Amino acid sequence: MSKLLVKPEEVDQDGKIIDVTPESAGWEYVGFQVYSLKEGASLKKETGTDEVCLVLLSGKANVKTNEKAFNEIGERMSVFEKIPPYSVYIPNDDYYEVEALSDLELAVCAAPGKGTYEARLIAPEDVEQSDRGSGKMSRKIHDILPEGKDADSLLVVEVYTPDGNTSSYPPHKHDKDNLPHESYLEETYYHEVNPSQGFAFQRVYNDDRSLDEAMTVEHRNVVLVPEGYHPFTAVPGYECYYLNVMAGPKRTWKFNNEKDHEWLFEGVKR
C-alpha cells in the first residue's frame, strides 16, 4: 500500500478511526483526525500548540471551549445531503468538549496556531458555495475556512465530485515557498464514497516523477499530498466527497498548473 494512503482503523476508546499527525505524515504543519461517536458519547481534548477546526461531517452535537458554548449544532445526517456543515474554530492553548446528540462523524483539522483569533461557530450560512469547472471537470465547493476568513494557518474546504468526473483538475501543485507565484501547503484529502462500497482514483506526482503514486481510494480513506500534483477521479456510478485541509508557513493558496495540461482551461479539443 502506498505510504500516502491512510485507511481507517477500528474505533478506539475515544471513537477515533483516522489519525494523521505531522510526525506520521513526515511533514510540519497539518494534523487530521476523524472520530465516529455514538449518540451520548463525548470527546474532550486540549488544542495545545495547534488551532483546530471541528467539522461536523454528519450528526448533531454540543461543543464547548474554555470561553464559548455552541449547543445543538449540526443538520446534515450524511455528507451527501450536500448542504454545508456546521464547524467550530478553536484557537491554540484552548480546550474543546464535544457531546454527540446523535451518532456523529467528526473531523478534527489542526495546524500551528498563534492565538490571534477567538473560538467561533462557522454556521452553514457562513460557508460560501460555488461550482467549479465544467463538463467532466465540474464539481461543487463548500469553503469552510478559506483564505478570506480568520485563522492563523488552516485552510479547510469540502468538494463534491459527480460520478465519472475528475476534480483537483487540471492538475495543480502548491509545494514551493515562492510567493507571490506559489505557496507551500501540505494537504490531506479525506474521502467518502456513495454508495460506500465504491472506489475512486487519485494520483500524486511531481515534475521529475521522483514522486509518482496512483492510488485506489475507498470510503473513509485519506490521501496525503506532501508535494506535487494531485488530480482525483470518481468512477461511474459512485459520487465522491472529500474534505481538504491545507497549511504551510504562510496562509495563502497560490498554485501552479501542470503546463502540459493548461490547454484544458482554453476549451481546446484534442
CB 188 within 8 A of CB 32: yes
Q: What is the pLDDT of residue 243?
A: 98
Give the pLDDT band of residue 125 (cuts 50, 70, 90).
very high
Q: Is the pLDDT of residue 269 over 90?
A: no
Q: What is the pLDDT of residue 107?
A: 98
Dist CA 51 CA 115 (whole Å):
8
Block residue for cell numbers 510526525: 23
Strand partners, 224: 188
Mean pLDDT of 95-110: 98
Mean pLDDT over each residue of the chain, to the nearest integer: 96
Q: Is the pLDDT of residue 267 over 70?
A: no
Longest CA span, the chain: 57
Dist CA 252 CA 236 (whole Å):
34
| pLDDT tens string 219-244 | 999 999 999 999 999 999 999 999 99
Query: What pTM was computed for the model?
Result: 0.96
Mean pLDDT of 97-112: 98
Q: Which residues contact 254 (CB under 8 A, 6 or more apart)?
A: 174, 179, 180, 181, 182, 183
| pLDDT tens string 61-94 | 999 999 999 999 999 999 999 999 999 999 999 9
Give the pLDDT band of residue 1 (cuts 50, 70, 90).
confident
| pLDDT tens string 244-260 | 999 999 999 999 999 99
Q: Is the pLDDT of residue 268 over 80?
A: no
| pLDDT tens string 186-217 | 999 999 999 999 999 999 999 999 999 999 99
Q: What is the pLDDT of residue 78?
A: 98
Share of residues in the chain with pLDDT > 90 (%): 96
